[in-house]
Each structure stands twice: as C-alpha cells, then as structure tokens.
Amino acid sequence: MCRDCCCGSARKHPDVDHAGQVARLRSALGQAGVRVSACLDACERSNIVVVHPTPTARRAGARPVWLGYVLDDAVIGDLTAWVEAGGPGIVPLPEILGLYRTNPPTGQG
C-alpha cells in the first residue's frame, strides 16, 4: 500500500481516513500481511494498493495485482474479502475490484 507523496495524503484526499485504511487492512489480514511503501510511481491513480500472490500461487504463475483509486471503505472491504479468500492466482479477481485494476508503471509489477 503506497503511503508517500500522494497516496495517503490528506492534502490530496482530505476525505479519506488513510491511517484507518491501513489499520483496517492490518486488523483483517495481520500486521505482516500489509506493508506500507514509499512512492510506487502511480500518483495519478492514488491510492495505490498492490496485492501480491502467495508464494505457491507465484510459483504457479500468478502476478501481483495493482489497484488504483482505493479511496473508500467499501473497496477496502472487497479487497480484504478477496485476500482472505486466497487472492491472486487462487481466487479470481472479483468483478467489483476489476473496476479498480490498473497497470503498474513501466519497470514494476
């Protein structure tokens, strides 16, 4: 989860509880399951969240899924449910989260 210059910025998104998003994800997925990152170079699509597959799914070919515009509790809830169900490579991306899917910047992913 990006929390640098634009993502996580009350200046850019004053109506979003940025700390609350991180806390809610960590509460549902565990402290180790949520990493806060420096800039992911996708500021125009903030807030950016990258969901990594499990090691087993990664070995089977699954790749990280980038989501942009993660700005409300409903998206956090849908994201949490998907990850709890298995996430990338295990459970198909829910249609609603497909609306938030974005490509990583060149050189990432």
Rounded distance between C-alpha atoms, residue 24 and residue 94, angstroms: 20
Which pLDDT value is given to residue 50? 95
Which pLDDT value is given to residue 71? 93
Per-residue pLDDT of the chain (109 residues; tens, 9 = 90+): 988 877 888 888 999 998 999 999 999 888 878 888 888 998 899 999 999 999 999 999 999 999 999 999 999 999 999 999 999 999 999 999 999 999 998 766 5
Which pLDDT value is given to residue 109? 57
Secondary-structure breakdown of the chain: helix, strand, coil percentages, each rounded to the nearest 5:
35, 10, 55
Which pLDDT value is given to residue 82? 96
- Sign of CA pseudo-dihedral 88, 73, 96, 66: negative
Which pLDDT value is given to residue 108? 64
Which pLDDT value is given to residue 11? 85
